[in-house]
Amino acid sequence: MQEKYIMTSKEIHIIYKQIVKLLDNRELKIAFDSLQKLVTASQSYIFSDELNNLQETYKRLLYYYTANSTDPMRAKVYYELLASTYELTDKITRRILIVDSPELYYSMQRMHAFKTESISKLTGTIRSAYEINNISLAEASVAKLFKLIWTSAPLSDDDIKGLNESLNHETSNSDITNESGIATLLNCQIVSALILGIQKFFDKRKVSLLISAAENNNEEVKIRAYTGLLITLYFYKDRVDCYPDIKNRLDNLAENTDFKKIVYLIILRFILSRETEKISNRIKDEILPEMMKLNPKFNPHMPIKDISTENFENEMNPEWMDKISNSPLGKKIEEFNELQEEGADVMHSTFVHLKNFSFFDEISNWFIPFDKRQSSISEGDTIIKSLEIIINVGLMCNSDLYSLYFSIKQIPEEGRKMMIGQLESQLSELKLQKKAELQTRNDNKENIIGRYVQDLYRFHKLYQRRTEFNDIFTQKLDFHNLQILQKYFSDKSDMLNIAEYYLRKNYFEDALNIYEHLSETTECDEMLFQKKGYCKQMAGKFEEALSEYAKAEIINPDSKWLMRRTAQCYRAVKKPKKAIGYYLQYKKLDPDNLSVLLSIGSCYLEMKNYSEALKYYFKVDYLDQDRGKAWRPIAWCSFLTGKYEQARNYYGKLLSHNPESQDYMNAGHTEWVLQNTTATLDFYKKAIQISKSDYDNFKTEFNNDIPELKAAGIDINEIPLMLDSLCYSTE
């Protein structure tokens, strides 16, 4: 008898994803065929019967369709059939994997099968525990409730009733210290558990609960629910069409006055979250190494916001601070401070290694609001009093607040007092600044959104079992492109604002998609043509950019910005003659613009009109007042035109002002032509040293210049001799 083949968890996941993709693409027949494999693996006659019924229904629908039968209910039946197939796929997959999958999700489901605790019972226990100040019981019950909501699929009628009762409980926007605050904490965890559960498997009842939570009058609860709704609509954009009830409830939610504002702010915050890894890498690779060079005792875990002359002028060597302020490093620090003011997540790199506390072993604790009543926190201690400033101004997400608290708690008493003192003095000015900012705002929505997105980011990037979860931050999360949201953002100004944000963050493809969409309904808009052209230019699509710039030029031929951008594109496609026309046009409007004069010279250089190029370079050198902008092209043009002493003079200037490897090599070429082979060899050696002793790179650059060396009179037979001499001298 042939042994029955048992699928591995990996194979089940692969087939599941294939079926969902087929259903998303509306390839129902092929999806049924693949679903049969899962039915076989489940060894369940019930699932087999359900699949057969779905196929029979679909065959009847197709029969009447091909028979030209008119059926006003066809679309409704089709989408109900599609929804049932999605749900059957989910149900079978869960049933197979729950048997022995090591994933936490299925482990929790197996545990719940042997326990009688219900959602409604747990919510009651939590409230009662807080009332009698039994914090440990309350926390344990919240953790159980979180996991039960997360892994329950589908939720029962009693579950729905209990959760709705909690979500509809009247709360205020107060801190978590009273009955209202307890309800807020509970509902925040309910919402996060719903979001996590929907990410694993779609559940229309959980989505409905999220919409109910979005109608809550508490900002913390409401904004978490809105965030979860957008994530759900994004990842199940093809599935929600099957559920008209969800669409209807979303329409009702959209009638709320703050719907568009909250959605808009969430969209911007997720765009900003794309910057997090880039910011972390720049801090690690650019800022911290420079700080360590300047001061070996510098603390690499210090938040970027604390690196400023104002905060440290009494503690650091003034010469060191001068070095920071007057260097590229100083500019980078200021840039990061500005990013933080904008809401960028500059703290992530600081807390990457501070998520190993046992507190974070509990999955629900990654989402819990910072609660001074936590059993692991001493409410009256000095740390909490210091952190209250951060808590009040929303400087850190909840997850990082817990990390900071536990980190300070580990420091010995003396060191802790010193650190707390520094923290309080550094935050006192920030407190006043943030208080003034908050008074100018209508509400706290932006802060809440920022904190929650960062909490989600920390979980998906740092949780110890994160590989078991779909990392939402690997996706574009361009919520504004969701078809279901389009009607709520039909206002051109809303989409333009989002596009401008993409543009400012250098996400040119995303910005271009919006501009392309807007241009379909907007005629002859010069700014749209310009911005589409700019996005295409920055993406390297120069010919397409020129096409857009040409349309804008018809409307506004006198735009200096347009002239320069058009010229740049012509240079990029190797049409310097065309580019010069636009640069000369610009020159008429701004005769002494150094950048434009340099560009005109470079166009002539590309056209091999060296004498004309030199005219412009010399004009730049005269206007530049000996700052060196034109030295490099003057030196090279002088070499190409046989003015070797002039070239030597300018290379001498260049080599005393931040020279590049190419400058040493070209200085070597000049000395060679002047028959000073000893100096030639020295300059070539320095060129290699500057390029990190990369001889191969030097040789590639050198070979590119051989035609110019031959034209300057270098005997081709001497070239191997010079290169071999260089090899020996650099060994």
Q: What pLDDT score does 565 carry?
A: 96
For residue 411, give every residue at least 6 positions away whose Cβ sits within 8 Å of its Cβ, in sequence order, or none. 419
Range with the poorest average pLDDT among 145-154, 323-332, 566-575: 323-332
pLDDT at 285 over 90: no
Cα(167)–Cα(183) distance, rounded to whole angstroms?
8
Alpha-carbon span 280 to 130, nearest angstrom = 39
* Structural contact between residues 263 and 226, judged by C-beta atoms closer than 8 angstroms: yes
Q: What is the pLDDT of residue 179?
A: 55
pLDDT at residue 442 greater than cutoff 50: no
Rounded to 10°, the helix 594-606/631-640 angle is 20
* Residue position matching structure tokens 């959605």: 263
The pTM (predicted TM-score) of the whole model is 0.85
Which residue in the block uniquely carries the two structure tokens 């197709």?
62
User: Is-contact 375 139, C-beta < 8 A?
Assistant: yes
Residue type, 694: D
Tell me: pLDDT of 296 over 80: no
Q: Which of 379, 381, 351 is nearest to 366 (CA)?
A: 351
Alpha helices, DSSP H, located in 169-298 = 179-200, 204-214, 219-235, 244-254, 259-273, 276-282, 288-294
CA–CA separation, 326 and 309 (whole Å):
11
* Cα 320 from Cα 316, distance rounded (Å): 7
| Token pair belonging to 531 | 């911005």
Q: Please write the tens of the pLDDT for every residue from 335-348.
A: 666 777 777 888 88
Q: Are 217 and 250 in contact (CB under 8 A)?
A: no
Which tops the pLDDT comparison, 288 or 600?
A: 600
Question: Which residues are CB-contacts of 723 (< 8 A; sequence separation ≥ 6)?
Answer: 699, 702
Mean pLDDT to the nearest integer, 647-658: 92
Task: Give the span between the Cα atoms of 394 and 447, in whole angstroms.
Answer: 6
The residue type found at 443 is D
695 touches 727 (CB < 8 A): yes
Contacts of 195 (CB under 8 A, 6+ apart): 210, 224, 227, 228, 231, 232
Question: Mean pLDDT highest for which of 284-288, 309-313, 483-487?
Answer: 483-487
Angle of the 542-555 helix axis to the 526-538 helix axis, nearest 10: 160
Q: Note the pLDDT tens digit of each residue in 514-567.
A: 999 888 887 778 999 999 999 999 999 999 999 999 999 999 999 999 999 999
Name the one residue in this structure whose structure tokens are 């995303």. Answer: 510
Average pLDDT over residues 341-365: 89
Asked whether the beta carbons of 345 and 296 are under 8 A apart, the reply is no
pLDDT at residue 451 greater than cutoff 60: yes
Tokens of 30: 């092929």
**Domain parsing of the chain, residue ranges:** 9-101, 105-271+347-377+443-480, 276-344, 659-731
Distance of alpha carbon 568 from alpha carbon 595, whole angstroms:
12
The mean of the pLDDT values for the chain is 87
pLDDT in tens, 123-177: 889 988 988 889 889 999 999 999 999 999 888 888 999 999 899 875 555 444 4
Pairwise CA distance, residues 709 & 644, whole Å: 12
- Could you give the CA distance from residue 157 to residue 198 in angstroms, rounded to a whole number? 17
Note the pLDDT of residue 695: 86
Q: Token pair 């600044």 is at which residue?
A: 433
Q: What pLDDT was estimated at residue 143?
A: 94
CB within 8 A of 675, min separation 6: which ones?
A: none
Contacts with 574 (C-beta within 8 Å, 6 or more apart), sequence order:
606
Residues 184-237 have pLDDT tens digits of: 999 999 999 999 999 999 999 999 999 999 999 999 999 999 999 999 999 999
pLDDT in tens, 680-725: 999 999 999 988 778 888 999 999 999 999 999 999 999 999 999 9
| Cα–Cα distance, 597 to 438 (Å, whole number) | 48
The residue type found at 343 is G
Residue 168 has a pLDDT of 84
CB 78 within 8 A of CB 61: yes
Q: Is the pLDDT of residue 439 over 90?
A: no
DSSP string, 99-116: TT--SHHHHHHHHHTT--
CB atoms within 10 A of CB 710: 12
Distance of CA 140 to the CA centre of its chain: 34
Residue 343 pLDDT: 78
Q: How far is CA 323 from CA 94, 139, 337, 447, 659, in A?
A: 60, 50, 18, 34, 21
What is the structure's pLDDT at 252? 95
Contact 561/567 with Cβ under 8 angstroms?
no
Q: How confident is the model at residue 328 (pLDDT cuts 50, 70, 90)?
A: low
Q: How confident is the model at residue 293 (pLDDT cuts 50, 70, 90)?
A: low
Instruction: Sort residue 477 into left (φ over 0), alpha (ψ -120 to 50) or beta.
Output: left
What string of DSSP letters covers 636-689? HHHHHTT-HHHHHHHHHHHHTSS--HHHHHHHHHHHHHTT-HHHHHHHHHHHHH
In the chain, pLDDT over 70 holds for what percent of residues?
A: 87
pLDDT (mean) for 286-311:
51
Tell me the mean pLDDT in the region 608-626.
91
Cα dihedral sign, 398-400-401-403: positive
Whether 292 shows a pLDDT value over 80: the answer reads: no
Q: For residues 518 and 496, what is the distance between their CA atoms, to the nearest angstrom?
A: 8
For residue 380, what pLDDT is reported? 59
The rounded distance, in Å, linking the Cα atoms of 438 and 520 is 40
Per the model's pLDDT, the better-predicted residue between 285 and 349 turns out to be 349
Q: Do residues 195 and 241 touch, judged by C-beta distance below 8 A?
A: no
CA distances from 477 to 166, 423, 471, 474 (A): 30, 36, 11, 9
Number of H helices, E strands in the chain: 39, 0
Per-residue pLDDT tens over the stretch 402-432: 998 898 888 887 777 777 776 666 566 555 5
Query: How many CB atoms neighbour CB 415 within 10 A?
Result: 11
pLDDT per residue as tens digits for the range 55-108: 999 999 999 999 988 889 999 999 999 999 999 999 999 999 999 899 999 999
Tell me: the pLDDT tens digits for 21-61? Answer: 999 999 999 999 999 999 999 888 899 999 999 999 999 99
pLDDT of residue 685: 93
- What distances in angstroms separate CA 712 from CA 41, 646, 670, 709, one per listed residue? 78, 14, 9, 5
pLDDT at 620: 94
Q: How far apart are CA 619 and CA 560, in angstroms?
A: 21
Copy the structure tokens of residue 609. Answer: 């009109």
Question: For residue 272, is pLDDT > 90?
Answer: yes
Note the pLDDT of residue 316: 46
